[in-house]
Structure 1
Amino acid sequence: MAKKNRWRKYFFLTGMLAIALSVFGYLRLRDFGQTPLPLPATAMVTVAKGDGLNRVLPKLRASGMSQGWDWQWKVLALQMDMAGRIHVGDYEFKNGITPAGVLAMLASGDTVRVKYTLVEGRSFRQMRAELAALSELDDDLAGKSDADIMTLLGRKGVHPEGRFLPDTYFVPKSGKRSDLLRQAAEAMDVALAASWNGRDSGLPLKTPDEMLTLASIIEKETGKAEERPQISGVFVRRLQKGMRLETDPTVIYGIGDAYDGNIRKKDLQTVTPYNTYRMHGLPPTPIAMPGRAALEAAAHPAPGESLFFVATGDGGHVFSATYEQHRKAVKTYQLKP
């Protein structure tokens, strides 16, 4: 009987010790997870594709996070149910962050990213200049021609103008400038396909590329969103009737670097692929980056009879159905004394 009691006492004490150790371990783990890390400065850590916690821990150590044993980090990760959910990217950890905070950031994908906004109507040349100013990103575009860049993006032989959708894009700080271009190009693929597939019937456009070109002209002709369908309607009717588009933005694009802010008589008389005063139909390529609204306007032109429009000086236009009406509008708004 005494021997049996001794065994009971032994199991009881063993159980109590196990409970005590568990509580102690839990409290130590909790304290570890919530203890601020005294980093010497902001720590930057890059998580590459395929990195798990075993690969990330040495990077955390190298950045200055020497506190705790590896098993504490791993157990804490299991406790937070984030093991295997580490996101690729660049992370910035500030002094005072806790191990739990570090793991939470890795699991949430709260990475440091470089932001770039492509504005509607930008040309590819302007886009390249803007990207050149993003010093945070690796420059893999320097010294490359436009054709080289399109080849780099897997679009060999494609003219770059108009092929990138105006929007805001983000890439990891350790990324490349071509990563932004690739995002914008893929976004334009999607937007153009959607507009083309949902277009009105009977449009004088044979391919999505022609719609992209028309959208780019619409984008450059007006800054007023409500006017885009009307501008589109004018150009569509002129194409249907075999009339020249006679749009200044295409002439300006054709002039290129020589454009000084003025279109002269000789510019309108010079035959170039982009001089829509001398050639019929659309120019061979887009002339700018059209936004979604311009794409939709090209796909859904406003009905009506207007074949002309003239700028009023306030960003808007007056639309006319006859040349006589157009001449009067030009006299009113363009030939003021």
Structure 2
Amino acid sequence: MTETLPEVVAPHTLRATAAHRTDGDVTLYGVQLSWTVGDNDGADWPPPADWNDGDAPYPHYYEVWLNDGQIRQTAVLYWPAWAPGWQLARTHWVCLGAHPYPQYRVKVRARLSDGSWSAFTNEVAVAVRSGDSRPYVDPIRGPRTAAPPRGNTRHGSAGSPPSRAVRAIRDNDPAEVCERARQLNTSRTWQEVVPPAEAMKADPPWNGSYLEYRKFFRGGDIASAANPAFAGLDLVGDWPAATLPSSAGEYAFSYAFTAHHIGETWTHQWFVTRDDWDPSTPLTWEDFEPTPFMTEIHGDPGVTRHTTGALPPKVGRHVIVNIWGGHGGPIDDNGRMTGEFFVSCCDVEFTDGAAV
């Protein structure tokens, strides 16, 4: 991904603190990152001298390296033009899961205008034990709402590699497990694999600062978004799998949008199963690596392909899950949108060959 701005500037002066998010009964530990980029050093007011009403020369495409790159994440950042949107151009929270290591070393780099990488920032050591972690604080420090969806139809699912919803529902894949899934499902709306509306009204996914999604799952129901209408997607079986190279420098994922949500609350997150995942058992969150290998914050309506060079080296059968969500969705009894998120489970086979 190459920036279109002519003079993208590199980040420097990285700062990192342990910060956790509460998601239902689960505490997700993480690292809150901030850095200086251009004239943007984190002041709340006035805007940075190079802010230019949001058209600032700041990178969109970052890589976060933890522990010398043993854990890597692509972080794609977009930001609103209103004040203080510049805070979202220089901050990022990295999820480390419910059971993190005691300490991490972290550094970041950014993709520059010519497609090359900047030098890494300084490296920061962070203790992430429960006693060292503070509750996550939204850098915007105020209410955030959703941009309206575009178009008359809604939503979407991962297109490449294709999700189970795309294969079994949209494309009518003839595989035996896809046929069984169609028989179990009571909905054929492939682009709306979301939790039931009543569940989101009862316990909203959007809490005013970030998306809570883990609390909706009870084990073995990730692919269906814990929605009985898509129960067939949770079946254990020989799901058709896309081929991904085991050691690709970069890989581009695509998303089959039927509508864009591009408010500053909306995020994409991509996770991949652990090396010890057992394909003969239903998918649970414990089966996935705790840190998403790619995130996209806010989003660009013109982007349907999401490129990462941080996909962990894997071998054999795996599942990639995408969570796309933010403020929007059903209206509760008080007339407020609860938030919502869409789930895409993609079956893949990592090989030494090219992607198929």
TM-score tier by shorter-chain length is under 0.3
| Structure with larger Rg | 1
TM-score by length of 2: 0.17
TM-score by length of 1: 0.18
Higher RCO, Cα 8 Å, sep 6+: 2
More strand by share: 2
